[in-house]
Every structure is written in structure tokens, then in C-alpha cells.
Amino acid sequence: MKVVLIGVGQAGGKVTQALAEFDYEMGFEAVQGAFAVNTAKSDLAELNIDTMLIGQDRVKGHGVGGDNELGAEIMQEEATEVMDELDQRIMTDAEAVFIVAGLGGGTGSGGAPALANELNTIYDVPIYALGILPGRDEGSLYQANAGRSLKTIIREADASILIDNDAWRESGESVEEGFDHINEQIAQRIGLLLASGEAVEGVAESVVDSSEIINTLREGGIASLGYATAEASDDPEENVNTITSITRNALLTKMSLPDAVKAESALLVIAGEPDRISRKGVERARKWVEDETGSLQVRGGDFPLSTDRLGALVLLGGLERSRRVQEFMDRAREASQEQTTVDPTEEFENDDLDDLF
């Protein structure tokens, strides 16, 4: 699946660079272009991809200080300049645009929904968001920002793949180490998902193409991605249980949005050497995903990859009513009360958190 990446804010820029580097190192050529947009000059200086400083007149390159309303305003004011940069990177074969952002900071949480709104008025290709939710220990401002941003971005983007910072952080890591580890996990999983949507001729029985990804995300709303691997036998018949086992592991313990299993749609991709992939194992795993998610739209296929392991990549779409999302919105609502005196209501779609615009 050929895409253009736009990183918004500090976390968005770092993840965009990690994704572009992973795609280049693996030789997938799914990433057609990548650049980062920020209001903080120092954050852009750390990146090796193309960058663009916005809001110079208003914040002088010092960032918005966690103010996501200001982040949204600046993005709306300078949308034309950002579009000009994007036009130079969108090729005729680009199939989607991914806006990458941390939803807790000011520039990312405010700028990403505003940019999604602008892009959807111009381009016919899907506009997806890759949003990173703050961990529980990242402070009430980040929680409140992310709640408002998420509520807005699921309205503006065609679909939003969420990564919970608490999902892949390992115990004993420093904050910096934790973020670096999470960025690597995001780059690997999203990178493999995009690459699996690239046409590969004559090497597998059921190769996934970009339409499978687009159709899985077509339900809109919130999506999640999981991945697990295990050593593979040379004999595909011995890999039947391996395929079902890694699929279970990916869905139940390795998703970017944990504990969110009931879904409107799903995509299962088994990656590995084609000669080692058992058709019986793939079908059995696909049927298990169907039963576990309650979805009647479970797509599946292979991703030929030169490795002695097998991997299961699981993409779930339509998760906005999941318990995990509701728990996060409750946490964001409570954090918002600490920031303001407005009384919120309990429902996700109502006025517990104000839209950004």
C-alpha cells in the first residue's frame, strides 16, 4: 500500500522518521514520501526527514506549550502552505495519506485533526490518522488533550489507528527508552501492514493487496494493530498450530489497543516463507478471529517474507465502542475536569469533551 506520511508534533515526527527508515531498510517502497510539521524548531532539528516549521509568527518556533486549541488554529491558518509541501510528495500511485501524531501534546493533538479536515476537502484517497495515546502516568493535561483530539479526529479522518503508550512499554525502561522502544514497535507493525498491501506476483496463494487494508478500515472510527511471531518448521503441516498460536497471541496480548477485541471488521495477514505457510492453519486462524471478534468481515492473506519465522499481523476496525476506548475516555474526562470546571456527561459522543473545532 503506497502512502505518504505526515508527522505532526514531536512524537509524530519521530514515528514518521522511524516508519520511513524501516520501509527503506526493508526495501518495501511502500512509503512514497514523508515529512514532519511542528511549531517547535528544536524538535524538527532532531529529524533526518524533510521538515516544516509552522506558527513562526505566533510562537516564534518555541511550540504551543501543550495548548492544543492553539495547535489547531495554527494548522488551520497555515494549511495552504502544508498542502503545498504535500502536493510535492503525493505521487499518482499514492493510495492513502497517514497523519502521524501523539495525541497528548499541543501541536500533535490539535494539528492532526485540523490537518485531516483540510486534506479530506482536497484529496480523494483515504486520509488515515495514526494516533498515539498518552500513558496513564503522563499527566492530566496530556489525558485531556488526547480525549479532545480523539473525539475530533475520528470525525475528520477516514479511520484512526490507535497506539496506547502503555501497550508496548516494558518494565524497567526509562521514559526515553520507553518511547524509543514504542516507536520501534510502531514502525515494525505499521511498516509490515503497509508492505503487505503491496502486490507480490507468483510467490503466494493469497497475497494481500491494498484494497484489503482499505476495506478493513472502511468502517471508519478506531482501529488497532497487533503482531506476534514464532519459529517456523520447514514442513507447512507442522505449522498449523504455530499459525493459530501466533494469531491468538497477536490478538489477545499484542494489540496496540489492548483489551479491544470486538470489532466490526478484521484483517489477518500471515507473513513468512510461502512454502512454510499452511493453508489449513491460515483458515483455522481466520475462523478463530471471526469467532473472537464477532465480525463477519474477516479478510485474510499471505505476505511473502524471507525469514525462518512466521508472523501474524491482525488489524481490527470499528473499535470505538470497546471497553478500552471507553476507559480511556473516562480517564480523559476526569483529567478534563481537573483542567476546567465544566461538568461532562458520560457518553463518548456527547459533550464530556469539547471538540477542538
253 and 126 in one domain?
A: no
pLDDT (0 to 100) of residue 91: 66
Any domain includes 215: no
Structural domain range at position 277 = 224-317
pLDDT (0 to 100) of residue 188: 93
pLDDT (0 to 100) of residue 349: 56
273 and 239 in one domain?
A: yes
Any domain includes 206: no
Any domain includes 218: no
Residues of the chain scoring pLDDT < 50: 201-202, 341-347
Counted domains in the chain: 2
Any domain includes 332: yes
pLDDT (0 to 100) of residue 175: 54
pLDDT (0 to 100) of residue 176: 63
236 and 166 in one domain?
A: no
167 and 94 in one domain?
A: yes
Cell of 353: 469533551
The CATH number assigned to the domain holding 261 equals 3.30.1330.20
93 and 18 in one domain?
A: yes
pLDDT (0 to 100) of residue 325: 85
